[in-house]
Amino acid sequence: MFHKLIVAAAWACLAFIAYATLYSIGSRPVLAGGFFNVIERFGAYTVLGLFFHLAYPRHLTFVCIMVFGSAVTLAVFQNLVPDRDPRTLDAIEKLLGGTAGIVLGLITETGRPRRD
C-alpha cells in the first residue's frame, strides 16, 4: 500500500510541475520571488527525483529519463507559452535538483532492506 502511495505521489508531483511550468505566469503558484525561485525549481525537482526513485528503485534508467526528460521537455515547451521566459539556467537548476533527488534516493536505498 505504501508503494502505491509513493507511485501516486511521484506522478502527482510531475503533473504539478508541468502545471506550474506551462500555465501562464499569473496562475502559477509562487512561494516567494527573487532567489527563492531558484530554490523552488531545485526543490521541486529534488522531490520529483526522490519520489520517482522510491517508486521505481530497480529502474534507474526509467527514473532518469522521466526526471531529466521532463526538465528538458518542459523547458522547451515553455517557449510556446506567451508570457513565460524560459532560460537555460532554469533548466540547469532543474537538472541539478533532479540529480540531487535521485542521489538522495540511492542513499536511502542503501540503508533499507530489500523486498524480494
Domain residue spans of the chain: 2-110
Model confidence over 30-39: pLDDT tens digits? Answer: 666 666 778 8
Which residue has better confidence, 50 or 80? 50
Residue carrying C-alpha cell 509513493 = 6
Tell whether the model's pLDDT for residue 116 goes beyond 60: no
- What are the CA-CA distances from residue 104 to residues 42, 101, 109 (Å)? 13, 5, 9
pTM of the model: 0.84
